[in-house]
Amino acid sequence: MGPSDPTGLHRVLDDRVVLPQAAERLDTRRELWPDEVRIRVERLNLDAASFRQLERTHAGPGAGPDAIRAAVLDIVATRGKMQNPETGSGGMLVGTVEEVGPDSPLGLAVGDRVATLVSLTLTPLVIEDGLSAWDGRSEQVPCDGYAVLFGRSIAARIPDDLRSDLSLAVMDVCGAPALTRRVVTSYDAPRVVVIGGAGKSGSLSLAAAREAGATTVGVVPTEAEAALLRGADLADEVVVCDARDPIALRDAVGKAADVTVVCVDVPGCEGGAILATAPGGTVVFFSMATSFSAAALGAEGLAADVTMLVGNGYVPGHAAYALDLLRSHQGVQDLFVRRLA
Amino acid sequence: MGPSDPTGLHRVLDDRVVLPQAAERLDTRRELWPDEVRIRVERLNLDAASFRQLERTHAGPGAGPDAIRAAVLDIVATRGKMQNPETGSGGMLVGTVEEVGPDSPLGLAVGDRVATLVSLTLTPLVIEDGLSAWDGRSEQVPCDGYAVLFGRSIAARIPDDLRSDLSLAVMDVCGAPALTRRVVTSYDAPRVVVIGGAGKSGSLSLAAAREAGATTVGVVPTEAEAALLRGADLADEVVVCDARDPIALRDAVGKAADVTVVCVDVPGCEGGAILATAPGGTVVFFSMATSFSAAALGAEGLAADVTMLVGNGYVPGHAAYALDLLRSHQGVQDLFVRRLA
């Protein structure tokens, strides 16, 4: 074994030098490099876009759970990680620390129950139970096997005072409220529009924006979601609108936003988000369905002087902050519980 | 004719409501809405990524200039705009103002020689000469025809004191130095790394960063480009490195950057740019080859607390600022002249 790199480069099996996330295939050996940690996996939490793609392709009428199970097993066996080749996305996992390398900087101990906050797209993974306990109907995948964390990976201990499915759902999107808070606090009493305000990252982002002193506007696609969001008391205004229609969104939002946060995983929301934002404002794109060129060319084509951020899923302290938002906002908790039901 | 919208929405022929940039097809009628301007086109300047794709597909051994000409004519006739369906990108155009609607806010007069600073991907365009004067070998396309600007489009008068091909080449990338200046001035005496420092947007960004008080590092792929960049006296350090190799880039850059500006149009530079940037730093992606998900998941996977910006091609005053940089930095001018030769 050669030396390890904190990025996990030493486990990339591709011919070209690429980071684990960009790699075709990872080395999944059990044996650890000195700065690594091995996790006994209990559950995979597939990225929603990835699960929907797999479901469309493998779980249609006539196909049973065997087809979608086989698809996931095939991806993991081939690539050494769960990265959907169509969507490029992964998910996260839950498990228990099984072994800690002597040089690991992560501060974990054997027996800790943790969730990984780095994507499955770069996490070496071996499935050992054929996913026999998964019915193929949900992105929550019971799984026995092991995974490896690198020196620069992140994992968070699962808190004792919250239902663990709730904690996991929060951790899955915890970068959004932390980055929203950071952006919102750079404006004075801003107007913040969250597209997809009743969703997981959306409701947390609304709570973060309101705590930071913003006037909050939640955009949702249906009256049913609007009723839910009104009940959650997170948004000063609730607007029903198809965010893929840029002119409708601009008109529905009314007074332009200082900060617009895009939390809906559907393509084609770039133009509307830009048009809904005032000159000098900021658009934060958390949706993995965002098109880089649509955003860049869209803003240029509209002569829109807005700052556009790629939503970075890592902000220091993000998991603890998001869990605190859930604890302190009953409305957020209610939306999460309903979604998990 | 219904009412017009400053975004050009009134010329979208798609069934869905989308902005002109996202549209399949635009209305190219000659007749103007009151806030529009019609330009007599003299030259199209195709986006480099688009031209290379067309060249690969239509101008290989055995194919002549007729094939690539036919491809461009077909796109423009079908879509009513020059937007390469493969790359999604367009380019810009040069021409003379032919008619100005009574309500146009652009401040243009009949006879003004202008370059459009909004993308061809959203500009209604009719080609009337079959591109007979184009040899198919360069992204500079002589063309007779007309194009339409909307209320919210941008066009800049071509200055008299500079060669017009030089002005156009500068205007084509003028968003990069303006946004670089804005980001750089938010740091105190920062270290700024520009990937693709000897290119058009790269050399202008280096000049902008240096004027803003930064220590500048230019990254180039070859020794030949390094020699050119050293001669231009824009970078305090010049580094030769393949930016697609993230570890090599991190190591070559040495002390991590406060601001990293990505100006090379090749895919796969996201990881290296993130790794080369210090915690709290900013990465500005100007390359249209940037993958949104690679950037978002890459930063998360590396636990990198960096701000990532989608390079917006519009910043108020960008064209005048970029032309001034060219006038005041002989090194930038030399690099541009050499590139146009």
A122 touches chain B (CB under 8 A): yes
Q: For B178, how many CA atoms within 13 A lie in the half-sphere containing its CB? A: 22
B54/chain A closest Cα distance in angstroms:
18
Q: What is d(CA A130, CA A163) in angstroms, rounded to the nearest whole number?
A: 27
Q: Which of A:213-242 have CB within 8 Å of B? A: none
Mutant choice from A244, A305, A310 vs B, greatest count of B C-beta within 10 A? A310
Look at residue B72 and tell me whether its pLDDT is greater than 90.
yes
> What pLDDT shows up at residue B62?
62
Look at residue B38 and tell me whether its pLDDT is greater than 80.
yes
Q: Which residues of A touch B309 (CB under 8 A)?
A: 307-310
CB A7 to CB B302 under 8 A?
yes
Split at pLDDT 50, 70, 90, the class of A337 is very high
> What pLDDT shows up at residue B282?
98
Look at residue A76 and tell me whether its pLDDT is greater than 80.
yes
A185 touches chain B (CB under 8 A): no
Q: What torsion do the CA atoms of A12, A14, A20, A21 make, to the nearest 10 degrees?
A: -160
Mean pLDDT for chain B overall: 94
Mutant choice from B302, B309, B315 vs A, greatest count of A C-beta within 10 A? B302
Q: Which of A:25-84 have CB within 8 Å of B? A: none
Mean pLDDT for chain A overall: 94
Sheet arrangement for strand A215-220: A237-240, A215-220, A191-195, A257-262, A277-285, A307-310, B307-310, B277-285, B257-262, B191-195, B215-220, B237-240
Q: What is d(CA A292, CA A310) in angstroms, rounded to the nearest whole number?
A: 9
> What pLDDT shows up at residue A59?
67
Look at residue B61 and tell me whether its pLDDT is greater than 80.
no
Contact status, residue A82 vs residue A125, Cβ threshold 8 Å: yes
Look at residue B141 and tell me whether its pLDDT is greater than 80.
yes
Q: A217-228: per-residue pLDDT in tens?
A: 999 999 999 999
Relative to beta strand A37-46, strand B215-220 is unpaired
- The pLDDT of B74-89, averaged and rounded, is 94
A305/chain B closest Cα distance in angstroms:
6
> What pLDDT shows up at residue A60?
67
- The pLDDT of B176-186, averaged and rounded, is 97
A273 touches chain B (CB under 8 A): no
Helices and strands in chain A: count of H runs, count of E runs:
11, 12
Look at residue B98 and tell me whether its pLDDT is greater than 80.
yes
Look at residue B63 and tell me whether its pLDDT is greater than 80.
no
> What pLDDT shows up at residue A62?
62
Q: A187-215: per-residue pLDDT in tens?
A: 999 999 999 999 999 999 999 999 999 99
Q: B248-261: per-residue pLDDT in tens?
A: 999 999 999 999 99
Look at residue A64 and tell me whether its pLDDT is greater than 80.
no
Q: Which residues of B touch A311 (CB under 8 A)?
A: 296
CB B288 to CB A304 under 8 A?
no
Nearest to B309 among A288, A304, A307 (CB): A307
Contact status, residue A334 vs residue A231, Cβ threshold 8 Å: yes
Nearest to B312 among A89, A246, A299 (CB): A299
Q: What stretch of H or E contains A169?
A: helix A164-172
Query: What type of residue is B308?
Result: M
Residues with Cβ within 8 Å of residue B276, at least 6 apart in sequence: B193, B249, B250, B253, B256, B257, B260
CB B300 to CB A292 under 8 A?
no
CB B175 to CB A300 under 8 A?
yes
Q: B273-309: per-residue pLDDT in tens?
A: 999 999 999 999 999 889 998 999 889 889 999 999 9
According to the per-residue pLDDT averaged within each range, which of A48-62, B127-141, B225-239 is highest? B225-239
Q: A15-62: per-residue pLDDT in tens?
A: 988 889 889 999 999 999 999 999 999 999 898 888 989 988 886 666
Nearest to A152 among B22, B122, B302 (CB): B302
Percent share of chain B, pLDDT over 90: 80
According to the per-residue pLDDT averaged within each range, which of A90-94, A317-321, B67-71, B237-241 is highest? B237-241
ipTM: 0.86
| Residue A295: strand, helix, or coil | helix
A217/chain B closest Cα distance in angstroms:
23
A291 touches chain B (CB under 8 A): yes
Split at pLDDT 50, 70, 90, the class of B60 is low
Nearest to A119 among B21, B301, B312 (CB): B301
First to last CA, chain A: 46
CB A303 to CB B119 under 8 A?
no
